[in-house]
Amino acid sequence: EYLLIRSARTCAGSGCKLTQPWRFDLKTATYYALTVLFAAAATAQETPTVNRVLNAASLTLPGGASIAPGSLVSIFGSGMAGAPASASTNPLPATLGGVSVTFNGLPAAILYVSPGQINVQAPWALLEIDQQERTVPVVVTRDGRASAPFSATVARYSPALFTVSQF
């Protein structure tokens, strides 16, 4: 898409007027009206897509369960953030770089966002006292645009270890 601009608007004091931009050719002593083309930047924003929700330490689905309440979780997908950003406050924010994440409608604390990966702490209230496991919807929202819900299994426990080779 292009915008064609043939005149300019100048304002001085309380009045504005439209003026035609001109170019003067020194060789021929002729004035030419200028036509300026600007390429309009694409403003369409991608809707976030969630492909995987995993235990951040193992990046696998240990024992068939994906995550546990209060655990660190890595979310993989596309269009999830405009640019990488890391949390710099304590407590961790619920929104970072225009991105928020909910598990069953509960906000997650965000550590890191990027277009392809988000790291969060899962909300502690994901399971009732008597529940051992259940499936919850995970939704990533970027600047007001929400992903389709991704079904993640939450278990009471999901042990995993971070290793040196992960860093």
> 27 pLDDT band (50/70/90 cuts)?
low
**pLDDT given for residue 65 in this prediction:** 57
Reply yes or no on whether the pLDDT at 138 is more than 50.
yes
**pLDDT given for residue 16 in this prediction:** 47
User: How far, in Å, CA of 34 to CA of 15, rounded?
Assistant: 24
Q: Determine the average pLDDT of the residues in 104-117.
A: 97
> 42 pLDDT band (50/70/90 cuts)?
very low
Q: What mean pLDDT value characterizes the chain?
A: 78
Reply yes or no on whether the pLDDT at 11 is more than 50.
no
Q: What does pTM read for this prediction?
A: 0.70
pLDDT tens string 71-106:
999 999 999 999 999 999 999 999 999 999 999 999
**pLDDT given for residue 128 in this prediction:** 81
Is 127 or 144 the better-scoring residue by pLDDT? 144
Reply yes or no on whether the pLDDT at 8 is more than 50.
no
- Ranges of beta strands (E only) in the chain are 2-5, 8-12, 15-19, 22-25, 30-33, 36-39, 49-55, 72-78, 85-86, 95-96, 99-103, 106-107, 109-113, 117-121, 133-142, 145-146, 150-155
